[in-house]
Structure 1
Amino acid sequence: MALVKYHKELKVYQNAFAAAMLIFEITKTFPPEEKYSLTDQIRRSSRSVCENIAEGWRKRKYPKLFENKLIDADGEASETQNWLDFALACRYINEEDYQNLITKYNEVLSMLTSMIINSNQWTFSQAKSPKN
């Protein structure tokens, strides 16, 4: 694994950011009556995935906090998929865009799960005290 210094270097962050930007572009076409509901909610949750990854990255010194932020990112990615289900059901997005975004978020979810399971590879190792 290559040394990653900044959260923006993480593939999971890059993928989540790209998906959030795609959602931003697609939601520009949502009807005005959805502005304060579906549009705001899906934009918020998709951006929150990135925010939680970034915040978690800065908390790598504390493994449980790091894991919690990744778990939060996982929840936001799942929420985003839920909003995509509604957008498709309301016919605000087409099937191709829906499938593309669902696939992107499944990949993000898979990467987050792997990072959570293997969090010791991402966090700072704590110095062990000598046994007495």
Structure 2
Amino acid sequence: MNKSDFIEVLKQRTKQLAIDVIHMYDKIQKTDATRIIGRQLIRSVTSTAANYRATCIARSQKEFFSKISIVVEEADETLFWLEILKEANFASSETIDPLINETLEILKIMSKARKNAGNN
């Protein structure tokens, strides 16, 4: 897979994660707590996808590093909110574990990209 294909795959994965999280949230019982968590979760997961797209059109290495750092932070926040939903028993492991796993994979990829960008 060449670099351009890899970038497109990551764009699609981050966007699909956002869509999957939104659909998962729509299916869970709404309480005051889940509404607050859900708002934060949806904000962070959509920010992950949107900011990754912004990294793809960065005009400089410095801008790329800045944007990829935001992606890492937002992906980590997404992971946090997913863990909260799971550990508070607001969503089943069966429902949330695939989202946690995909978020972890994306976080690892983006963290490595940030590390490599920082080394250049």
TM range (shorter): 0.7 to 0.9
Identity, in percent, stands at 20
Q: Could you tell me whether the CA contact under 8 Å between 2:68 and 2:110 is conserved in 1?
A: yes
With normalisation by structure 1, the TM-score equals 0.77
Aligned partners of 2:57 and 2:95: how far apart in 1? 33
2:49 is the alignment partner of 1:50: yes
Residue-pair matches, total = 117
Structure 1: give runs of 5+ residues left out of the alignment. Answer: 121-132
Structure 2: give runs of 5+ residues left out of the alignment. Answer: none
TM superposition shift of 1:108: 0.5
Aligned partners of 1:19 and 1:43: how far apart in 2? 10
Aligned partners of 1:35 and 1:84: how far apart in 2? 11
Q: Aligned residue for 1:2?
A: 2
Indicate the RMSD between aligned Cα atoms, in angstroms.
2.3
Amino acid at match of 1:40: R
Larger Rg: 1
Q: What is the correspondence of 1:1-132 to structure 2 with a 5 Å cutoff? A: 2=2, 4=4, 9-30=7-28, 31-34=30-33, 36-59=35-58, 61-119=59-117
Q: 1:89 to 1:35 in 2, by over 3 A?
A: closer
With normalisation by structure 2, the TM-score equals 0.83
TM superposition shift of 1:90: 2.5
Q: Deviations over 1:87-127 (max 9, x none)?
A: 1122221112222111101110122123223349xxxxxxx
Aligned partners of 1:3 and 1:76: how far apart in 2? 23
Aligned partners of 2:27 and 2:42: how far apart in 1? 13
Aligned partners of 1:10 and 1:90: how far apart in 2? 35
Q: Deviations over 1:68-91 (max 9, x none)?
A: 111110110100010011111222
Q: Could you tell me whether the CA contact under 8 Å between 2:34 and 2:90 is conserved in 1?
A: no
